[in-house]
Amino acid sequence: EAAYAKDDDATRASDTLLINEQSRLLESEGKRVYKFGFGQSPFPVFAPAVDTLAEHAADKDYLPVQGLPALRHQVATFHGEVDATPWEASRVVVGPGSKLLLFALMKALPEADILIPAPSWVSYAPQARMAGQRAVRLEATFETRWQVTAEHIEAHCQAEPERLKLLVFNAPGNPTGLAPTVDEQRRLADVARRHGVLVLADEIYGLLQHRGEHRAFARDYPEGTVTTGGLSKWCGAGGWRLGVMHVPTGLGSELFARMLGIASETWSSVTSPVQQAAVTAYTRTAALDAYQQRQREVLSEIGQWCAARLNAANVRTHAPDGGFYLFPDFEVHRQALAARGITTSAELTRRLLEEAGVALLPGSAFGCDPGQLTVRLAYVDFDGAALLQSTGTVMDHEASR
């Protein structure tokens, strides 16, 4: 309770939304703004899913709290195949976005430490505190490609052996665009298993792994991994508010029952037409494969290009593994920036917006120390619909316009 009041999570406006407001203000004054702040999918929703939504527009009934059985079945089949790890339809929960599912899980746990990497997505720590849990920060560095290590987890487990622990794991990550190597992931899974740490694998960007294979965390730790996903990123449908969660049977029936209890007392069920549309989205077809593949190609090319340009301009950043973010680090410019009065990431992003019209988010919004000069860059301000229709490279497409 004390932490909740101190951090005032309930009244703090999300940094990601603030940057939007500031950008709009500058634009209303006639200034050009380069939008790298807000991270929403630039691609249109998968068209067959839109058709299904329209066909079901008149559906008016509440659906079962856990989710439409046909959808749970489809989601389990889909993820079972693409992630090569078993999902059971009876243990899938459908919610209004994965965000609320994450919160419901934290709320459903008995008293726990929620281990949250820094940097990581803005909402994990406020959610943990609002759920009455202890948020524990695990600090990662540029050198480890912003990954928390097995040693981080080991150290915390040794310091707090008695407490239940939930590790939040998000790959490809927001804000970094990065995923651990297979070896690193296995080591995390091993240490989690050894100490009985639960893992919350937020794999909302899993289907947007650019190249190679997304390796679901549940593949390495099936019995202890709760996985979330949904339509917001790979299906371009953030505003539809449809998320999914898989809770393995190994975690027992009590936690699961509490999740469903929270669902039934809060959101009741996700909108019927959206659940019907999601059945289509989660049915593998050649058209769906092509839709996903094209998104990965486009995001990969743009992400690699942005990273190369930044590195060439002496702003260090890792080339992304997936999703649509980069996490550049201005550390080597610390002195020059300090000479201009810039000593925090918040000041850096404020000045970049004011002086150069470039909208970015500060690393501090993602749990980094305020004085660490990192920013999140979302590379989504392009014509996703046109690029989805096109073939060849993004550069070819641009040249032909």
The rounded distance, in Å, linking the Cα atoms of 385 and 362 is: 29
The rounded distance, in Å, linking the Cα atoms of 29 and 24 is: 9
Which of 74/347 has CB closer to ligand PLP? 74
User: ∠ at Cα 178 (160, 331), nearest 5°?
Assistant: 85
The rounded distance, in Å, linking the Cα atoms of 185 and 218 is: 10
Q: How far is the CB of 122 from ligand PLP (least distance, A)?
A: 8
- Which stretch in 91-99, 185-193, 252-260, 372-380 sits in contact with ligand PLP by CB under 6 A? 91-99
The rounded distance, in Å, linking the Cα atoms of 314 and 338 is: 17
Q: Which of 384, 355, 89, 81 is nearest to 247 (CA)?
A: 89
Residues in region 102-121 near ligand PLP by CB under 6 A: 121
Near ligand PLP by CB under 6 A: residue from 37, 67, 97, 248:
97
- Which stretch in 6-14, 54-62, 95-103, 273-281 sits in contact with ligand PLP by CB under 6 A? 95-103
User: 207, 82 in Cβ contact below 8 A?
Assistant: yes
Which of 121/282 has CB closer to ligand PLP? 121
- Which stretch in 94-102, 218-226, 345-353, 377-385 sits in contact with ligand PLP by CB under 6 A? 94-102
The rounded distance, in Å, linking the Cα atoms of 122 and 228 is: 16
Question: Per-residue DSSP letters for 208-247?
Answer: GB-SS----HHHH-GGGEEEEEESTTTTS-GGG--EEEE-
Which of 234/256 has CB closer to ligand PLP? 234
Site string for ligand PLP, 153-192 (x = CB under 6 A): -----------------x---x------------------
- Which stretch in 92-100, 104-112, 137-145, 210-218 sits in contact with ligand PLP by CB under 6 A? 92-100
Near ligand PLP by CB under 6 A: residue from 68, 168, 204, 277:
204
User: 310, 282 in Cβ contact below 8 A?
Assistant: no
Q: Which residue has the tokens 């943990």?
A: 128
Count of other CB atoms within 10 angstroms of residue 353: 21
The rounded distance, in Å, linking the Cα atoms of 73 and 279 is: 9
DSSP 308: H
Which of 119/243 has CB closer to ligand PLP? 243
238 binds ligand PLP (CB under 6 A): yes
Near ligand PLP by CB under 6 A: residue from 66, 85, 227, 232:
232
276 binds ligand PLP (CB under 6 A): no
- Which stretch in 81-89, 93-101, 254-262, 363-371 sits in contact with ligand PLP by CB under 6 A? 93-101
Which residues are at the interface with ligand PLP (CB under 6 A)?
Answer: 97-99, 121, 170, 174, 202, 204, 230, 232, 238, 243
